[in-house]
Structure 1
Amino acid sequence: MAMDRPILLIEDNPDDEALTLRAFGKNGITNPVVIARDGVEAIDYLNGTGTHAGRDLTVMPVLILLDLKLPRIDGLEVLRRIRAGEHTALLPVVVLTTSRETRDLQQAYRLGANSYIRKPVDYERFIQVVGQLGVYWLTINETTETAAHGPY
């Protein structure tokens, strides 16, 4: 069930991480949240390698929230690797970034992002945006897992 599966938050900014977690709570999003603070950690989590070696790969994120400006491996490269992976290619990826660069937006969609959202600067607006994300991606959107197993 989608509510039991984790959300993978790929975010290196501790303030944005805390804000996102607070927004989940305020919007009643109760999924467990796995945090990757750089691109390498994100890829390791998804592939069950490195610090996440031995992780149960049958439990994949219901949603990936991906910042673009990440250390070690940037967000666009993380997205490219997600889409190239056999067991990760169909996972929903929402780019959640401060980038205002048109080329970042275009490249994210070229690489297969499901959505591209610029982080609102205003706290209340951010809470609202995360709530809308949760409603859509966690309850309304049909996933490949739902299609394979039915809605119940």
Structure 2
Amino acid sequence: MNRAHILLLDPDPVEAEQAQRAFREAGWEQRLHVVSDGEEAFAYLLGRGVYHDRFTYPQPRVILLGATKPDPAAIQVVQAVKQSQDLRRIPVVVLTRACDKTDLQHWYEVGVNSCLVKPSDFDDFLQLVRMCGAYWLSVNIIPPIPPYPQP
């Protein structure tokens, strides 16, 4: 059985809860771990502190970044992941409510692998989660990531 995981970084608790609900309804709740800021995301990715147990907190197959705009904190997370020799292999996918041409260009310039516009209708969002999960968890493959990578 494929036990690939997703790390969702979303500073908005309402958006994070909606994502958790969608993953739960899609049957992938056990594969989603949610953090609310970049510091916690890096603790998870590097296996530090409470995230040291890699059986409980495995390396993700993909990082979902909930963001409204390419703000400095979100950009810092993407750049740090992409600059790490070990972590840069993990795809970073932006999940946003809106993405104009300028934002889209900026996201790709800082290193994201995909940008998804989150539908306002929950059923449509659930469909997006199902498609995203099927692709990133089952179809796409990435090289192994060390359990305790270097930043």
Q: Is TM more than 0.5 here?
A: yes
**How many angstroms does 1:112 deviate by?**
2.1
Paired AA for residue 92 in structure 2? V
d(CA) in 2 for partners of 1:99 and 1:52? Answer: 34
1:143 maps to: 142
Structure 2 residue 131 is the aligned partner of structure 1 residue 132: yes
**How many angstroms does 1:18 deviate by?**
1.6
**How many angstroms does 1:74 deviate by?**
1.7
Q: Relative to 1, partners in 2 of residues 1:108 and 1:52: Cα closer, same or farther, differing over 3 Å?
A: farther
1:18 maps to: 17
d(CA) in 1 for partners of 2:119 and 2:137? Answer: 21
d(CA) in 2 for partners of 1:53 and 1:15? Answer: 24
d(CA) in 2 for partners of 1:87 and 1:136? Answer: 22
d(CA) in 2 for partners of 1:76 and 1:38? Answer: 12
What's the Cα RMSD here? 2.6
**How many angstroms does 1:6 deviate by?**
2.5
2:5 maps to: 6
2:109 maps to: 110
2:88 maps to: 89
1:74 maps to: 73
**How many angstroms does 1:53 deviate by?**
6.4
**How many angstroms does 1:73 deviate by?**
6.0
d(CA) in 2 for partners of 1:135 and 1:37? Answer: 24
Structure of greater relative contact order (alpha carbons < 8 Å, 6+ residues apart): 2
2:31 maps to: 32
Of stretches 73-82 and 21-30 in structure 1, the one that deviates more from structure 2 is 21-30
Contact 2:23 2:32 in 1 (8 A): no
SS of the counterpart of 1:74? helix
Paired AA for residue 104 in structure 2? L
Paired AA for residue 68 in structure 1? A
1:149 maps to: none
Identical positions, percent: 32
Q: Relative to 1, partners in 2 of residues 1:41 and 1:88: Cα closer, same or farther, differing over 3 Å?
A: same
Paired AA for residue 81 in structure 1? A
SS of the counterpart of 2:87? coil
Count of aligned pairs: 142
Q: Relative to 1, partners in 2 of residues 1:106 and 1:47: Cα closer, same or farther, differing over 3 Å?
A: same
Write out per-residue CA displacement over residues 27-51 of structure 1, whole angstroms, 9 at most, x where no aligned residue: 22254322110122112221234x5
